[in-house]
């Protein structure tokens, strides 16, 4: 699983999304429910947490794209 840092494009709320696939295939944006806005909003993908625990840019992601 990869932990991604995402930010709501409307209210700016940041949160960590832990998923098992590469979010870079969404070209930097993903629509998810925002708890602060209480509706589905566009979220900007800010980066991911590497195995060392540092925040890295999405362009540095080297994991698999989508598992078949």
15 C-beta neighbours (distance < 10 Å), count: 14
> For the chain, which residues score pLDDT lower than 50?
67-68
Taking the whole predicted model, whether its pTM rises above 0.85 is answered as: no
Tell me if 48 sits within 8 A of 56, measured CB to CB. Answer: yes
User: What is the predicted pLDDT for the residue at 68?
Assistant: 44
User: What is the predicted pLDDT for the residue at 65?
Assistant: 55
User: What is the predicted pLDDT for the residue at 25?
Assistant: 83
User: What is the predicted pLDDT for the residue at 50?
Assistant: 74
d(CA 52, CA 14): 21
10 C-beta neighbours (distance < 10 Å), count: 13
d(CA 68, CA 62): 17
User: What is the predicted pLDDT for the residue at 60?
Assistant: 65
């Amino acid at each position: 699983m990869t932990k991604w840092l995402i930010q709501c494009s409307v209210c700016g709320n940041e949160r960590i999304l832990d998923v098992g696939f590469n979010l870079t295939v969404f070209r930097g944006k993903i629509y998810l429910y925002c708890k602060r806005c209480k509706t589905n909003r566009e979220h900007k993908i800010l980066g991911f947490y590497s195995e060392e625990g540092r925040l890295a840019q999405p362009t540095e992601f080297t994991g698999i794209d989508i598992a078949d």
